[in-house]
Amino acid sequence: MQISQALNEGAPAASPQVARQSLLGMSFDEVEAAVTALGLPRFRARQLWRRIWRHGQTDFGDMTELGKDARAALAQAFHADRPMITSRQNSTDGTIKWLIRCHDGQEAEMVYIPEEDRGTLCISSQIGCTLTCSFCHTGTQRLVRNLTAAEICGQVLLAMDELGDWPAGKAERRLTNIVLMGMGEPLFNYEEVKKALLLIMWGEGLGLSKRRVTLSTSGIVPEIERCGAELGVNLAISLHAVRDDLRDVLVPINRKYNIKELVDCVRRYPVLSNARRVTWEYVMIKGVNDSPEDAKALVKLIRGIPSKINLIPFNPWPGTDYECSSDAAIDAFAKIVMKAGYASPVRTPRGRDILAACGQLKSESVRLRKSQMVAQAQAETSTL
Ligand code: SAH
Ligand code: SF4
């Protein structure tokens, strides 16, 4: 294991920034309104926009084309800072995990996973998670708060800074895909996630194709429908069980939206085709959900839906009672799935040495506001 760590890098989490408003979560129209409200001409908004979204600039002082007066006025009212990096860990397999700190001290994580044909950034949508999936490390950390659109975009822009990916859209870029599979349930923070993804996908923003963006959800049915209609991104569903009694335990939101409702809603997801399949995520837990009967029920359940199946070996974390299925059980399960026509379904865990693999993300923010979290948890369970 080779871990290199850097502390306290990036933009300072200085308090003066707090008073200034972030430009990163604003739509172009909002930026234009903000610029003209400062008494600046409208065309400055387009110049400013390009500096931020196409060139990744954060310091108004460097944006010389804007003119001196505009630079000074903007610097007083706004900022384009990324979250701060608290630590960076490099896995032996090339995976990088950053712990990032927002201006209020709350922390979240993001992970970069390089592969032969792509580089995927896994971003967080919340700090912690209100859901309590029993096998997930993040689930043991109650929600501290939703991330704002600026903080969600800030993760992507920060990763581009780190990976040397400016200007946006350059041919040899390292970040080609985004998955919302970090901390949090993105569909419980839908409005901010939507705002951020629209900026990331807009041609004048980062211009990332919606085919290169995947949103993973534990199954919030009404928002899956909105996501399909309004964003059209790829969908990944954390299924993990094929019987309601078991899924109620593994993924407790199942008590609100059960397997049948979930599968029916995915069947209606508008962008699905053989070229754009839904991904069913299925974590392999020893003696819990890994029998050949489960595999057969799985392929039967999703029959007729353009699908990929991702079998994820359970990634252990400190304090869990679950264990990863044996290689033999995973092989037997995978064989049944492959026989039904789904290719190479086992996901190789990445960044395991730095706890960056699926479900291992958890920040220390949980310790900061325990009383609030308890109140939040009570409110949450009463709505389930
Ligand atoms: N909240 C969303 C997105 C984040 S979780 C969701 O649940 O889909 C990203 C993926 O990691 C999900 O499929 C989740 O079920 C899976 N996961 C969580 N804990 C895991 C663990 N310990 N081992 C392997 N996968 C895990
Ligand atoms: Fe939240 Fe997803 Fe973890 Fe469940 S699996 S607790 S929804 S982050």
R_g of the chain, CA atoms, integer Å: 21
Among 164, 123, 167, CA closest to 361 = 123
Please name the residue whose Cα sits nearest to atom 24 of ligand 1: 314
Catalytic-labelled residue, pool 109, 151, 162, 185: 109
CATH code of the domain containing 36: 1.10.150.530
Give tens-digit pLDDT for 141-176: 766 799 999 999 999 999 999 999 999 988 899 999
List the single range of 21-35, 83-97, 136-150, 211-225 with lowest mean pLDDT. Answer: 136-150
Is there a single domain that holds both residue 75 and residue 91?
A: no
**Residue pointed to by tokens 């007083």:** 76
Whether 358 is a known active-site residue: answer yes
Main-chain dihedrals φ then ψ at residue 24, nearest 5 degrees? -70, -30
Of 79, 113, 128, which residue is a domain's last?
79
Is there a single domain that holds both residue 55 and residue 178?
A: no
Is there a single domain that holds both residue 314 and residue 206?
A: yes
Is there a single domain that holds both residue 222 and residue 353?
A: yes
Joined together, the tokens standing for residue 320 give 């869990």
In the prediction, which pLDDT does 7 show? 40
CATH code of the domain containing 101: 3.20.20.70
Helices (H) and strands (E) in the chain, counts: 12, 13
Is there a single domain that holds both residue 273 and residue 155?
A: yes
Let me know if residue 383 belongs to a domain: no
Q: Is 275 exposed, middle or buried (0-12, 13-18, 19+ CB in 10 A)?
A: exposed
Q: What kind and span of H or E run contains 359?
A: none
- What one-character DSSP code corresponds to residue 316? P
Please name the residue whose Cα sits nearest to atom 11 of ligand 1: 358
Give tens-digit pLDDT for 89-140: 999 889 999 999 998 888 898 999 999 999 999 999 999 888 989 999 877 8
Of the bound ligands, which one is closest to the alpha carbon of residue 181? 1
Is there a single domain that holds both residue 121 and residue 251?
A: yes
List the single range of 187-201, 278-292, 311-325, 365-379 with lowest mean pLDDT. Answer: 365-379
Q: Quick check: 30 pLDDT over 90?
A: yes
Q: How confident is the model at residue 245 (pLDDT cuts 50, 70, 90)?
A: very high
In the prediction, which pLDDT does 362 show? 57
**For residues 124 and 147, is the Cβ–Cβ distance under 8 A?**
yes
Q: Quick check: 337 pLDDT over 90?
A: yes
Is there a single domain that holds both residue 71 and residue 141?
A: no
Let me know if residue 53 belongs to a domain: yes
**Residue pointed to by tokens 């029920």:** 297
DSSP three-state, residue 129: coil
What's this model's pTM, rounded to 2 decimal places?
A: 0.88
Query: Between these two residues, 349 and 239, which has the higher pLDDT value?
Result: 239
Catalytic-labelled residue, pool 133, 153, 227, 358: 358
Is there a single domain that holds both residue 196 and residue 313?
A: yes
Is there a single domain that holds both residue 202 and residue 240?
A: yes
Is there a single domain that holds both residue 43 and residue 189?
A: no
Is there a single domain that holds both residue 171 and residue 304?
A: yes
Is there a single domain that holds both residue 100 and residue 60?
A: no
Atom of ligand 1 nearest to the CA of 217: 8
Joined together, the tokens standing for residue 235 give 């969908």
Whether 122 is a known active-site residue: answer no
Q: Kindly report the number of other CB atoms within 10 A of residue 11's CB atom.
A: 19
Query: Between these two residues, 296 and 383, which has the higher pLDDT value?
Result: 296
Of 79, 99, 114, which residue is a domain's last?
79
Task: Compute the average pLDDT of residues 9-13.
Answer: 42
Task: Compute the average pLDDT of residues 55-81.
Answer: 95
Pocket, ligand 2, Cβ cutoff 6 A: 129, 131, 133, 136, 138-139, 184-185, 218, 238
User: 197 lies in which domain range?
Assistant: 84-366
- Ligand 1 centroid to Cα of residue 225, in Å, is 21
Atom of ligand 1 nearest to the CA of 322: 22
